[in-house]
Amino acid sequence: MKKIVFDIETKNMFSDVGSNDPASLSLSVVCIYDSETDSYSSYIEEELSKLWPILEKADMLIGFNSNHFDIPILDKYYPGDLKKIKSLDILTEVKNSLGRRIKLDTLAEATLGRNKTGNGLEAIKLWRNGEIQKVRDYCIEDVRITKDIYDYARKNGHLKYKDGTELKEIKLDTSNWESVENSAMTHTLPF
């Protein structure tokens, strides 16, 4: 199964565009982990044509808050429909099990023993300051964390978080996470 773990950063925030619709935001960078090549890569808007063939070969997209945030933003740049690729949104899985949302950083700290290297607002500031490589590096680290969280959940059937000082587990049914679905993918490449 070819899995793509991904994350995006934006050039702006909701207050800049006067909307709460993620698709109204502009993409600065998208970073991926490709299970087929066991490699990480990043793409700015001008490089997206290199990303589309990789995504089109994917059996599954994996992200954190990706169905609500990342895919709607990325889909506005893609000439097809990325929603036709199977998607696993770890935040949705956590919310369905726990009944509430938990930040990626909270899960990473309790489950993996490490934290994110920044946040999305800092990434916007870096982008605006022309520090594109720093945005790429931050986004790739978020992809690493998301991949490690995914792998941990698949292996152990749970993730961890701290509730005050108490370490708790979020039980997750991962049995269908990697089931292959037929997709009616639209492709940008001629076949």
For 112-133, the pLDDT digits (tens) are: 999 898 888 899 999 999 999 9
Write down the pLDDT at residue 118.
83
Residue 128 lies in a domain: yes
Task: Provide the residue type at 165 as one letter.
Answer: T
CATH of the domain at 122: 3.30.420.10
* Residue 183: band (very low, low, confident or very high) from pLDDT cuts 50, 70, 90: low
* Residue 190: band (very low, low, confident or very high) from pLDDT cuts 50, 70, 90: very low
- Mean pLDDT of the region 128-150: 97
Q: How far apart are CA 24 and CA 4, in angstroms?
A: 24
Residue 57 lies in a domain: yes
Question: Is residue 49 helix, strand or coil?
Answer: helix
Question: Taken in order 22, 24, 25, 27, is the CA torsion positive or negative?
Answer: positive
At 7-53, the pLDDT tens digits run: 999 999 998 998 899 999 999 999 999 999 999 999 999 999 999 99
Residue 187 lies in a domain: no
Residue 164 lies in a domain: yes
* Percent of the chain's residues with pLDDT above 70: 94
Domain span holding position 71: 3-171
Given the DSSP bridges, would you call strands 87-89 and 60-63 parallel, antiparallel or unpaired? parallel
| Number of domains making up the chain | 1
- Core vs surface per residue 167-188: b (16+ CB within 10 A) or e: eeebebebeebeeeeeeeeeee
Token pair of 156 as six digits: 């152990």
Write down the pLDDT at residue 69.
95
Residue 145 lies in a domain: yes
